[in-house]
Amino acid sequence: MKTVLRSGFIFVLFCILFPAFVNALGASANDLTIYSLKGPSGVGMIRLFEEAPELKGFNVKMEALAQSNLMAARFISGEAKVGILPPDVAAKIASQGRDIRAVAVIGAGMLSLLSSDPNVRNINDLRGKTVEAVGQGATPDYVFRRILRAHGLLPYVTLSYSLAYPEIAQSLIAGRVSNALLPEPFATMALMGNPQLRSVADIQEEWARAVGRGAGASGTGSFGTDNTRNYPMTVLVVDGAFASANPSALGEIIAAVRKSIEWVIANPVEAGVLVEKHDLGLKAAVAAAAIPKSNYVFIPAAEARPSLEELFTVFLENTPASIGGALPGEKFYWKMDN
């Protein structure tokens, strides 16, 4: 009798749990995570954390990763379908045979050269000085190196990479560092904390000169930003197989990202509140103050290809292996009308 009762209980339990198990499998198969990054790179997408896109056939959620190498690992493994990466990292993954496409540039140049040294008023005054720099072997490093080379200063300026972004900002505030290259929002944090600090060069304008475009070049991209002066810092990327299989869903994601960026630019205070609420690593007041200086854009990859290739060329000049030894091919640039 006990055996019969036990068997009956197991059968009933099976009948209850099996449908839930099947549903869970189905939900898992349709789960889609849109990945962002903590810090300034992810701020443009913050509206999606408050209200994720509703896509037919998908259960969509947002997740912010702490570092770009974690994002890269998820794309390499095939786990990530949509996310953001530095352009060089995306190019490197593509060079390794992974079908990853650049959809749009969503973050452009936002570097500042700051100094409290009264003798440093412009780039040329850096001769014989030490600059605390950021991102060794990454976009900020190579952009600045190209600028220094254009001024004939590269052998005469010492670049130090001993500190992380927040530590550089705090060292500028405390007076332990006199000259530094910083992205937003850390440049804003430093300027807010030390009235002796000032910006001594427009890095975006210097970049335009260094690559031969000239500071006075004309032309605007999305949201009226003068993209002739800019270099890409962040790209929205997508798994190629996912994009090909789900063009409608991708189109809705693209539209949602673009609307989020537009909203952030138009509403920096409200966006700052959401940045802190969703734990992107920045306080609301700092994010709000930095957003107007942070150059959030939306430039479709095909349109942004010339500026991406300018940047990739600088990587090839310094460490070719960092992007796979060659410029990415046409396939890398997702066309919106695919």
Sequence ranges of the domains in the chain: 31-108+231-332, 111-210
> Among positive and negative, which fits the CA dihedral 57, 63, 68, 72?
negative
Same fold, 31-108+231-332 and 111-210: yes
- Of 23-37, 140-154, 245-259, the range with the lowest mean pLDDT is 23-37
Cα–Cα nearest to 37, from 88, 74, 91, 92: 74
User: How confident is the model over 117-132, as a mean pLDDT?
Assistant: 96
Distance CA 313, CA 319 (A): 10
Pick the CATH number of 111-210 from 3.30.2130.10, 3.40.50.12280, 3.20.20.240, 3.40.190.10: 3.40.190.10
**Superfamily holding 31-108+231-332:** Periplasmic binding protein-like II (3.40.190.10)
Helix (H) or strand (E) holding 88: helix 87-95
Contact partners, residue 99, CB within 8 Å, separation at least 6: 239, 240, 241
pLDDT value at position 70?
A: 95
- On the question of pLDDT at 118 being above 70, the answer is yes
Model's pTM, two decimal places?
0.84
Task: Give the mean pLDDT of the chain.
Answer: 87
Tokens of 85: 């990466």
- The 8-class DSSP code of residue 208 comes to H
Integer CA distances (angstroms), 81 to 165, 237, 250, 310, in order: 29, 8, 10, 27
How sure is the predictor about 29, in pLDDT bands with cuts at 50, 70 and 90? Answer: low
What confidence score (pLDDT) does residue 213 get? 65
